[in-house]
A and B are shown apart, each in its own frame.
Chain A
Amino acid sequence: MSGARGSALAILRGQIERIETAEVAHQHERVALGHSEADAALKGGLARAAIHEVFCEGRQGAAATGFVMGLAGRVCARRPLLWVRQDFSEIETGALSMSGLAELGLDPRRVVMVRAADVESALRTSADALACDALGAVVIELWGEIRQFDLVASRKLTLAAQGSGVTGLMLRMAAQPLPSTAETRWMLRAAHSPPGSMWSAWGAPVFDAELLRNRHGPCGRWIMEWSCDECQFSEPSTYPQPVAAAPAHRPDPALLQQRRAG
């Protein structure tokens, strides 16, 4: 009797596993960012076929745009990028400049821009685009707190991304993080250029990136530099690394491992 039940349970477990793995078929693909500590925290890199959120304060919009552009550049791998943006964010932080994009070492030829009038059409367009497997990534740029983007909307985007293998990057300017189904969530600030004399040339874009949420690993905070020539993130060479603050809402990963071992 118990043997029969056990085998039935095993069959069911197998079925559930199959359903889940079918859903997350693309999820094993990860793209290394180039910053070793961040890649370690992300278990090898940024997951494809998932949604990643990048938040920033209003005036840090350009820094966050650069970071998202970097992520998109890593993930896209010569496939087209669809950039969906809300009209209002262009007024606030300026239009995405293709010359600037080329200066970052990325390819402006593969960028198709959707100028959505409002949040609803931006979200709908993004859900549609995320289901199209010809794209490398879809960036959704939204300004301010958004009522319409709730868990259901977020889940819709995640499912679309999982189905097609397209990566969704949400650029949320002037917004506070809310619960969502995103794989990772970042808080972005601009970081100083490496110290030097006041009049010296300053270097590549530097970000102060804080990983607030990571579904499959620890969080952290790093100074990341985008190297335009290699098209990847790296540790700034002449910059003192700040000590990552221990995330308050999660137990320390080191402690957790000790406990498991012990």
Chain B
Amino acid sequence: MIHALDEAAERLGLYIGQPLANARAMCPDLKVFDADTVADAKTLSDIADWCDRFTPLVAFDAPHGLFLDITGCAHLFGGEAALLRTLVRALGRQGFAVSAAIAGTSVCARTLTRQASGTIVADGGEAEAISGLPVSALGAGEAITTGLRRAGLKTIGDVASREPHEITARFGARFSTLLAHALGQGDAPINPRKPLPDYIVEKRFAEPIATDTMIAMTLSRLADTLVTSMEKQGKGARRLEAAFFRTDGVVRAITIETGRPVTRSAVIDRLFRERLDALADPLDPGFGFDMVRLSASRTEIVVQEQRDLDAHVHDNDELAALIDRIAARIGGKRVVVHLPQETHIPESAVLVASAQHHLTSAMQAEWPARTESEPPLRPLRLFDKPEPIKVPFATVPDGPPHQFTWRRALHAVVRVEGPERIAMEWWRQDGKQLTRDYFRIEDAEGLRFWIFRDGLYEGEVFDGDGKPASPGWYVHGLFA
């Protein structure tokens, strides 16, 4: 099946959707490449990234189109005509064949790109602009296009001249809506790839910049501007994105999240410096960046606190700032706080949560109080997955082992405390969970272990024949 073809092939009469064997029969020396839809989508997405320089609202138009909402953006590029020219020429230089058009509605613009690339239609001129185009330009599908042609409606103007209810009756409501949109009566909403950031500042360069110092300087200037505009509305940024537009079309975006709204440009500057320093694949300027954009995609209203008198607030701020810096460098998931959970199962008693988002709740969490004058009942170090140990057979069935082998070393048990029986939460988990009997063990060297027997003797563990088997033993933690 032919997925796409070039102009020369089209002139030979081949068409998209034609079986490859038929095409080979028509043209024996046809050059064929496997279609790679994933790579196509990736390329389209890269082009969309590049198009971000014209407007933040870029939407996909499957399978290989892009919508750019340039409302209010065109004057920045010297008007609509200049924008269109710049865009087509730049993409053309990259080796893409582009057909582009500007119109008041997205559907009209799409119709124009199919047959009249390069057209710019002013508001209200849509019907006139597309009336002369063949009906296939509407892209309504093979069945409808053929149907229209059979009905003698060759151009969009012909179709538009009919009464809408006739069209609806013959071709369905969906087609008549499409036609109305194309004619400039109402518009289908586009679905931008990224939500519109709350604040955007950007800087373009006539001469591309490539040095680290220039990049850092640009970022800090942009941060200043961003903060000034956020300050006017009493906002602080929780999520910042810096996008670097390379001259050859590659766009690199770097995102930073913060635990508290940032209101100082020095902080933004420092966070980005940390992040840029720690990038696994450093920012590659290539032949230079011709544009840098800084946007605050999530903002929050900043509550002004009285700082001077309360040193505690100051300390928490400092800590939050430090957490943000570390998170910017090594990733937000790597800086964590711990929240207690209502469960007896040791491995799920503590919830690990991102420190940026849960610092305050972790600081106020209620931990179960320890029993006075008791030694520690829970180990200081806990294994994520309990590690199996080898226990010789000659033990009291329900009792603790006298010795065990863990990590290839034999430990003789000198002291034992237990068992502490922990039953699993049958009301929560699917499948049968075994009851655990925990023992606190001290070996001949003074090392202390928290071991458990997984399952009750003659009650829960059975072998293949249904006879009671000996349950497994595990080390779950180590005491100090």
Contacts A65-B380, A114-B326, A128-B322; A102 near B367 (Cβ below 8 A): yes
Nearest CB on A from B426, distance (A) = 22
Taking a contact as CB atoms under 8 Å apart, the answer to whether A96 and B380 are in contact is yes
Complex-state Cα separation, A81 to B380, whole angstroms: 16
Please measure, in the bound complex, the distance between the C-alpha atom of A134 and the C-alpha atom of B359, giving whole angstroms. Answer: 14
Binary flags per residue of B37-49, CB closer than 8 Å to A gives 1, else 0: 0000000000000
A189 interface residue per 8 A CB criterion? yes
Chain A residues within an 8 Å CB radius of B315: 79-80, 134
The answer to whether A114 touches B335, judged by C-beta atoms less than 8 angstroms apart, is: yes
- Across the interface, do B326 and A134 meet the contact criterion of CB distance under 8 Å? no
Cβ 8 A contact of A99, one of B319, B334, B346: B346
Given contacts A113-B335, A203-B375, contact A121 B278 (CB under 8 A): yes
Per a CB cutoff under 8 Å, which of B319, B442, B478 touches A80?
B319
B: interface residue count bin: 35 or more
- Residues A229 and B372 in contact, CB atoms below 8 Å apart: yes
Quick check: which of A19-27, A151-159, A204-212 contacts chain B, the rest being far away?
A204-212
Residues of B within 8 A of A256 (CB): none
Contact code string B52-91 (vs A, CB < 8 Å = 1, else 0): 0000000000000000000000000000000000000000
Q: B327-343 CB contact bits vs A (8 Å, 1 = yes)?
A: 00110001111101000
Stretch at the interface among B112-120, B123-131, B216-224, B408-416: B408-416
Query: Which A residues lie within 8 Å of B383 (CB)?
Result: 94-95
Q: How far is the CA of A41 from the CA of B338 in the complex (A)?
A: 36
Chain B residue nearest to A111 (CB atoms) is: B338
Distance in Å from the Cβ of B9 to the closest Cβ of chain A? 51
Interface string of B86-101 (1 = CB under 8 A from A): 0000000000000000
Instruction: State the main secondary structure of chain B at its contact with A.
Output: mixed
Residues on A with C-beta less than 8 A from B372 are 229
Task: State the total of A-B contacts with C-beta under 8 angstroms.
Answer: 194
CB within 8 A of B323: which of A67, A112, A201, A208? A112
Map CB proximity to A onto B446-468 as digits: 1 under 8 Å, 0 otherwise.
Answer: 11100000000000000000000
User: Number of contact residues on A: which range applies?
Assistant: 35 or more
Chain B residue at smallest Cβ distance from A59 = B447
Closest to A122 in B: B330
Top-10 shortest CB links A-B:
A66-B480, A62-B478, A134-B318, A94-B381, A103-B376, A100-B380, A97-B382, A205-B480, A190-B446, A134-B315
17 residue pairs of the A-B complex, CB under 8 angstroms, read: A62-B448, A66-B380, A66-B479, A99-B350, A100-B376, A100-B479, A109-B365, A113-B352, A128-B325, A129-B322, A132-B321, A134-B314, A134-B318, A135-B319, A203-B375, A204-B376, A228-B375
Q: A100-B380, A109-B363 are in contact. List 9 more A-B contacts (CB 8 A).
A: A66-B480, A67-B480, A90-B384, A94-B382, A100-B480, A104-B380, A108-B367, A124-B329, A226-B480
